C-alpha cells in the first residue's frame, strides 16, 4: 500500500513538493496553520508562480487535501516539514517559524510516522531536534525558482540526513523516495546539511568564475559566450555547469548558505576567505547596469527616461528578494522609469516617477535607454527593430543576452551585455 504523504508549510517549497508528490500518484495532505493561505489554495489561488504548477494542482485535485487542521496529519505515514525559512539582509535564517511548525507536526502525527525536514536549515539543526521516540530525517531540497516542478518530479538524487545512516530507512519513507527512480544517499544529519550548502557553493563558484572573466571580456574585447562552449566540453567542468554571468547572487537561498559558511568558519576558526570574495564579487556585479547606465545615459542626458523590463530576481517567479532590478530602480529614484514585468506588480517599484507599462514595447515608448534586467522567455520575442522604433535613444542594456545582439546592432541600437564589449 502506498504511503500517505503530508507536507507542513504551504509556501513555495512545501506547495511545489506536495503537488509534485500527488503527481507521482500519492495521496497528499497539504497542511498550513494559516487558514487564509489554505482558503486561497482551496480557491485555486496559488501564492507562487511556477511553470506547470497550476495545471498539476488541477490534474491532481482528488489526491490533494489542503487543510489548516493539523489533525489531518494523523493519517500520514511520512510528513515533510517544509516552510520557506526567511532570511534577513545578511542572509541569516530566522528559524522560529520552522521550529514552531516542527513542534506542531511532532504533536499532530502518529508515533510511527516519519518526519522529514525539507527546509534549508543550518548544520546542527536536525540533530538538535531529534527525539529518541520519533523517526526524524533531514532531506536536502534542490528546487530552483522557475524550475521547481521539473526538479521535484525528476530529482537527480535524494540526499537523506539520518540519525544513524547505517539503519535502513523506514519502509513508507523508502517507498516514497523510490517512486522517483533516482539514487538515494543516506548520510548523517550534519553531512546532509552540509551537502546542501556544498552544492550551492559549487554553483556560486562557477557563477563567480563566469562573472570575473566576463568582466575582463568586457574590457579587453573577448567574448564570454565564445569561451563557455570550450569550458562545457571539459569533463572536469561539464555541460551543465553554471557558467552564465549574472548580476550577482539573488533570491536569498544561495546568500543564506554563504552566510552560514562564513558564520560557521568564524565560530570554528576555519578559512572562508573565498566565500567572502564571492559575496564581494556578487555585490560588484549587481551594480553592472547602474555603472553602464551612468556612463551611457545618466551622466549625459538631463532628466532621462528609462525603460526597465523585469522586476523579479529571475524569470518565472514573482520573487523580488535581492532582485538586481529593484536594486537598480532604487538607485534610479530621481528619474522617470517605465517598468514592465509579466508577474510582479509595478507597485513594488520604489520610484515615485514610475509608469506601469502594459507591455514591453509600451515601456520602451520615448525612453532614452532600455534595460532588460530579468531574462523572461517572452522578452526573447521582442524584435530589436520594434524596440528601436519606440525608444527615443539607442542604448540597450541586456545583461543576460535575451535579445539578438547582431539584430540590435543592425537596428542601430548600442547594445551592452555581460561578457562582451559594447
Partner 1 sequence: MVLLGARGFIAGAIFRSLSAQGFSVLPLGRPDLDLLKPESVGTLAAALHHDDAVVMLAALTPDRGRDIGTLMKNLAMMEHLCAALAKTGCAHLVYFSSDAVYGLGPSRVTEETPAAPQDLYGAMHLARELLARAVAGVPILVLRPTQVYGAGDTHNSYGPNRFRRAAREDGRIQLFGGGEETRDHIHVDDVAAISMRCLMHRRTGTLNLATGRSVSFRGVAELVARQFAKPADIVSVARSGPVTHRHFDVANLIAAFPDIRFIALDEGVARCHTEEMEKG
CB of 287 to partner 1, least distance (A): 4
Residues near 191 by Cβ (< 8 Å), separated by ≥ 6?
161
Interatomic CA distance for residues 7 and 29, integer angstroms: 6
Selected range binding partner 1 among 34-42, 58-66, 139-147, 280-288, rule: CB under 8 A: 280-288
Please check whether residue 195 is in contact with residue 160, taking contact to mean a CB–CB distance below 8 angstroms: no
State yes or no: residue 299 binds partner 1 (CB under 8 A): yes
Interatomic CA distance for residues 320 and 338, integer angstroms: 17
Residues near 250 by Cβ (< 8 Å), separated by ≥ 6?
286, 313, 314, 321, 322, 323, 324
Q: What are the backbone angles phi and psi of residue 99, rounded to the nearest 5°?
A: -60, -45
Residue closer to partner 1 (CB basis): 172 or 324 = 324
Interatomic CA distance for residues 227 and 386, integer angstroms: 31
One of 35, 229, 238, 334 touching partner 1 (CB under 8 A): 334
State yes or no: residue 348 binds partner 1 (CB under 8 A): no
One of 106, 158, 313, 335 touching partner 1 (CB under 8 A): 335
State yes or no: residue 298 binds partner 1 (CB under 8 A): yes
Residue closer to partner 1 (CB basis): 330 or 421 = 330
Please check whether residue 31 is in contact with residue 68, taking contact to mean a CB–CB distance below 8 angstroms: yes
One of 69, 99, 150, 287 touching partner 1 (CB under 8 A): 287
Selected range binding partner 1 among 58-66, 161-169, 329-337, 401-409, rule: CB under 8 A: 329-337
| C-alpha pair distances (Å), 278 with each of 143, 165, 205, 282 | 22, 33, 7, 6
Residue 372, strand partner residues: 309
Residue closer to partner 1 (CB basis): 24 or 353 = 353
State yes or no: residue 280 binds partner 1 (CB under 8 A): yes
State yes or no: residue 331 binds partner 1 (CB under 8 A): yes
| Number of residues lying near partner 1 (CB under 8 A) | 16
One of 2, 96, 294, 421 touching partner 1 (CB under 8 A): 294
CB of 324 to partner 1, least distance (A): 12
Please check whether residue 249 is in contact with residue 282, taking contact to mean a CB–CB distance below 8 angstroms: yes
Selected range binding partner 1 among 68-76, 114-122, 261-269, 277-285, rule: CB under 8 A: 277-285
Which DSSP helix (H) or strand (E) runs through 203?
helix 189-220
Using CB under 8 A, list all residues that contact partner 1: 280, 283-284, 287, 290-291, 294, 298-300, 330-335
Amino acid at each position: 500500500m502506498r504511503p500517505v504523504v503530508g507536507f507542513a508549510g504551504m509556501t513555495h517549497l512545501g506547495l511545489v513538493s506536495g503537488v509534485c508528490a500527488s503527481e507521482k500518484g500519492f495521496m497528499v495532505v497539504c497542511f498550513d496553520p494559516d487558514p487564509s493561505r489554505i482558503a486561497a489554495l482551496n480557491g485555486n489561488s496559488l501564492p507562487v508562480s511556477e511553470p506547470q504548477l497550476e495545471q498539476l494542482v488541477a490534474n491532481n485535485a482528488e489526491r490533494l487535501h489542503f487543510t489548516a487542521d493539523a489533525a489531518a496529519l494523523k493519517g500520514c505515514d511520512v510528513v515533510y516539514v517544509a516552510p520557506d525559512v526567511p532570511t534577513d539582509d545578511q542572509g541569516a535564517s530566522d528559524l522560529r517559524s520552522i521550529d514552531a511548525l516542527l513542534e506542531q507536526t511532532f504533536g499532530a502525527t502518529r508515533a510511527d510516522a516519519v518526519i522529514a525536514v525539507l527546509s534549508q536549515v543550518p548544520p546542527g539543526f536536525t540533530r538538535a531536534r531529534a527525539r529518541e521516540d520519533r523517526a526524524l530525517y533531514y532531506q536536502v531540497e534542490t528546487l530552483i525558482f522557475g524550475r521547481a516542478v521539473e526538479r521535484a518530479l525528476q530529482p537527480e538524487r535524494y540526499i537523506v540526513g539520518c540519525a544513524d545512516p547505517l539503519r535502513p530507512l523506514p519502509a513508507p519513507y523508502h517507498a516514497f523516495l523510490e517512486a522517483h527512480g533516482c539514487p538515494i544517499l543516506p548520510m548523517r544529519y550534519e553531512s546532509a546539511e552540509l551537502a546542501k550548502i556544498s552544492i550551492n557553493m559549487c554553483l556560486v563558484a562557477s557563477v563567480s568564475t563566469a562573472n570575473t572573466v566576463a568582466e575582463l571580456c568586457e574590457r579587453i574585447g573577448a567574448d564570454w559566450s565564445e569561451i563557455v562552449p570550450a569550458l562545457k566540453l571539459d569533463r572536469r567542468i561539464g555541460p551543465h555547469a553554471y557558467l552564465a554571468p549574472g548580476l550577482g547572487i539573488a533570491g536569498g537561498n544561495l546568500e543564506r548558505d554563504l552566510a552560514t559558511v562564513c558564520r560557521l568558519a568564524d565560530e570554528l576558526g576555519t578559512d572562508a576567505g573565498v566565500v567572502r570574495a564571492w559575496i564581494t564579487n556578487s555585490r560588484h556585479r549587481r551594480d553592472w547596469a547602474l555603472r553602464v547606465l551612468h556612463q551611457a545615459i545618466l551622466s549625459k542626458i538631463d532628466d532621462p527616461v528609462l525603460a526597465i523590463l523585469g522586476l523579479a530576481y529571475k524569470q518565472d517567479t514573482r520573487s523580488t528578494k535581492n532582485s538586481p532590478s529593484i536594486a537598480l530602480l532604487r538607485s534610479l529614484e530621481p528619474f522617470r522609469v517605465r517598468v514592465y514585468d509579466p508577474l510582479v506588480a509595478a507597485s513594488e517599484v520604489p520610484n515615485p516617477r514610475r509608469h506601469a507599462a502594459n507591455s514591453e514595447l509600451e515601456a520602451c515608448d520615448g525612453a532614452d535607454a532600455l534595460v532588460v534586467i530579468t531574462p523572461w522567455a517572452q522578452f526573447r520575442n521582442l524584435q530589436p527593430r520594434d524596440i528601436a522604433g519606440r525608444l527615443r535613444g539607442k542604448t540597450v542594456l541586456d545583461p543576460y543576452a535575451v535579445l539578438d545582439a547582431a539584430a540590435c546592432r543592425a537596428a542601430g541600437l548600442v547594445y551592452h551585455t555581460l561578457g562582451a564589449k559594447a
